[in-house]
Structure 1
Amino acid sequence: MADFDDISAQPQGDAPAGEALLPAWEGRAILLVDLDAFFASVEQLDHPGWRGKPVIVGGDPDKRGVVSTASYEARQYGVHSAMPSSQAKRLCPDAIWTKGRFDRYREMSNAIMETLHKETPFVQQVSIDEAFLDVTPNEVNREHPILVAQRIQRRVEELGVTCSVGVGTSKTVAKIASDMDKPRGLTAVFPGTEREFLSPLPVRTLSGIGAAAERKLKSAGIETLGDLADAGEERLVRLFGKNGRTMHIRASGGDDAPVEEDDEVKSVSNETSFAVDLVERDDIEAAINAMAAKVGRRLRRKGLAGHTLTLKLRFDDRSVRSAQRRLDAETDDDLAFTPLLFDLLDEIWRPGIPVRLVGVAISGFEREPATQEHLFELPEDAPTADQPKLSEEKRTKLLKATDKLKDRFGETAIRFGHEIKSAKKTTGSAAKNPADYK
Structure 2
Amino acid sequence: MSTHPHLEALPFAEDRFTHLHVDLNSFFASVEQQLHEEYRNKPLAVVPTLGDTTCAIAASYEAKALGIKTGTRVGEMKKLCPDIILVQGNHSEYAEFSHRISAAVELVCPVAHTPSIDEMVCQLLGREQEPPRARQIAMDIKQSIKDNVGETLRCSIGMAPNRYLAKIASDMQKPDGLIGLLPSQLPRAIAHLDLRALPGVGARTEQMLLKKNITTMQELLSLDRNGMHALWNSVWGDRLFHWLRGHNTGDDGAPIPSDLQKSLGHSHVLAPEHRSPQGAWSVAHKLIHKATMRLRMEKMAAASLSLTIRYALTREQAATLPKTKRHLSGITHTGWAMEARFPHCQDTLSILEALQALWKQSPMGPLNQKPFFVGLALGRLIPENEQQPTLFADPNNRSQLSTTMDKLNLKYGHATLHFAGMLAARDSAPTRIAFTQIPVQYGVDYM
- Normalized against structure 1, the TM-score is what? 0.50
- Normalized against structure 2, the TM-score is what? 0.49
Larger radius of gyration: 2
